[in-house]
């Protein structure tokens, strides 16, 4: 494995990020929730621009040979749990992801807020391409690791740790260049957490505050899941394929926006406003779709292996 520091043309240096954020902050100093990014716009009260449609995943089977699959983890592939380490990953899910990864010739990646190491532990022994910590770290299809530069956001870190010390039901999760403050065990502290983090953020140019499911997350404004997917699509074997991205939370909005801009498919998991055009009701429902997809793909592969005249599998039959 090689380590590549993405400080080149594809990622703006932190100073540049700070300048960009400073410009935004002058318009919306109080709260990045007022930022115009798709991540933050999903948190607004207004409905999505396009009504979300139910989208049975198996209908896209016929186009899978030209597609790439990007999947968020928590709340998408697995049900949310009171604590991140308590999520349950079934052996069937791991087998399904392995089958789809093989069928797609490696064009399947996890795009998560978790570190890569946690994803590897959860999916062991399966090792997949992964964008971790929203793209702060990324393992490409060739298993090479890429890291975005770590920002200085000491004020936010100190604020979150102070809150956790004062309110032990809060939980701070420190990850590479980002921070999550979970209040699932203390929903009454939501407003306090938001106001304190918003104040601390004023001393951290280039960083933004996002409000997820019972969690506030602070991360560099330019590090997004959409940007991570774009990097995968610039590389083999993802290059030239149509991306499909499924996610459930605020940080997935940039991914929906990017894949749809390229003609791909964004799928919101669960309820809530979204820029995604399609919806699947729950992680359970997505897993059911993926299981069926893997089964049909396996059948199609078996079929083509005994019918060598078909060079490209046509998988719409029976869907
Ligand atoms: Mg999620």
Residue 252 Cα to ligand 1 middle (Å): 7
* Cα separation, 294 vs 286, whole angstroms: 12
Residue 127 Cα to ligand 1 middle (Å): 19
Residues in the chain: 319
- CA angle (202, 223, 15) in 5-degree steps: 55
pLDDT value at position 141? 98
Greater model confidence, 60 or 30: 60
Which tokens sit at 93?
Answer: 């899910």
Residue 77 Cα to ligand 1 middle (Å): 8
Query: Which pLDDT band holds residue 17 (cuts at 50, 70, 90)?
Result: very low
Residues of the chain above pLDDT 90, percent: 68
Residues of the chain above pLDDT 70, percent: 76
Does 72 participate in catalysis according to the annotation? Answer: yes
pLDDT value at position 41? 46
pLDDT value at position 160? 97
Q: What's the fold here for domain 50-148+222-300? A: Rossmann fold (3.40.50)
**Which region among 19-23, 84-88, 137-141, 164-168 has the lowest average model confidence (pLDDT)?**
19-23
Long-range contacts of 32-37 (CB under 8 A, 24+ apart): 32/198, 32/201, 32/208, 32/209, 32/210, 33/209, 33/211, 35/208, 35/221, 37/208, 37/221, 37/224, 37/253, 37/254
pLDDT value at position 64? 81
Q: Mean pLDDT, to the nearest integer, of 79-92?
A: 91
Is the predicted pLDDT of residue 35 greater than 60, yes or no? Answer: no
pLDDT value at position 150? 93
pLDDT value at position 300? 76
pLDDT value at position 63? 79
From 35, 72, 140, 252, active-site residue: 72
Domain ranges of the chain: 50-148+222-300, 154-220
Residue 73 Cα to ligand 1 middle (Å): 6
Q: What is the pLDDT of residues 198-231, one digit of tens each?
A: 999 999 999 999 998 899 999 999 999 999 999 9
CATH 3.10.580.10 fits 154-220, yes or no: no
Is the predicted pLDDT of residue 13 greater than 60, yes or no? Answer: no
* Cα separation, 117 vs 254, whole angstroms: 23
Q: Mean pLDDT, to the nearest integer, of 139-145?
A: 98
Query: What residues sit around ligand 1, an ion, with C-beta below 5 angstroms?
Result: 72, 74-75, 248-249
Residue 249 Cα to ligand 1 middle (Å): 5
Q: Mean pLDDT, to the nearest integer, of 248-277?
A: 94
pLDDT value at position 299? 81
Is the predicted pLDDT of residue 304 greater than 50, yes or no? Answer: yes
């Amino acid at each position: 494995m090689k380590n590549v520091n993405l400080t080149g043309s594809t990622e703006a240096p932190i100073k540049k990020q700070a300048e960009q954020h400073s410009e935004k902050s002058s318009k919306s100093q109080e709260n990045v929730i007022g930022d115009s990014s798709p991540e933050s716009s999903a948190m607004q009260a207004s409905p999505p621009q396009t009504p979300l449609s139910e989208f049975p995943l198996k209908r896209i089977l016929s186009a899978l040979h030209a597609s790439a699959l990007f999947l968020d983890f928590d709340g998408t592939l697995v049900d949310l749990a009171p604590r991140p380490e308590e999520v349950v990953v079934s052996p069937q899910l791991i087998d399904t992801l392995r089958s789809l990864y093989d069928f797609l010739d490696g064009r399947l990646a996890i795009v998560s807020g978790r570190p890569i190491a946690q994803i590897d532990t959860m999916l062991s022994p399966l090792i997949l391409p992964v964008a971790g910590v929203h793209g702060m770290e990324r393992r490409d299809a060739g298993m090479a690791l890429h890291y975005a530069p770590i920002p200085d956001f000491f004020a936010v870190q100190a604020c979150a740790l102070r809150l956790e010390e004062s309110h032990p039901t809060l939980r701070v999760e420190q990850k590479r260049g980002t921070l999550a403050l979970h209040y699932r065990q203390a929903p009454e502290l939501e407003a306090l957490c938001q106001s304190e983090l918003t104040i601390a953020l004023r001393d951290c140019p280039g960083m933004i505050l996002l409000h997820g499911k019972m969690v506030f997350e602070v991360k560099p404004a330019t590090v997004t899941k959409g940007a991570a997917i774009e990097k995968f699509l610039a590389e083999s074997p993802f290059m030239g394929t149509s991306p499909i991205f499924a996610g459930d939370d605020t940080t997935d909005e940039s991914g929906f926006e990017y894949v749809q801009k390229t003609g791909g498919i964004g799928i919101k998991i669960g309820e809530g406003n979204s820029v995604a055009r399609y919806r699947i009701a729950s992680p359970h429902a997505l897993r059911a779709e993926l299981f069926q997809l893997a089964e049909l793909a396996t059948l199609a592969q078996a079929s083509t292996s005994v019918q060598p005249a078909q060079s490209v599998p046509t998988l719409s039959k029976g869907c």
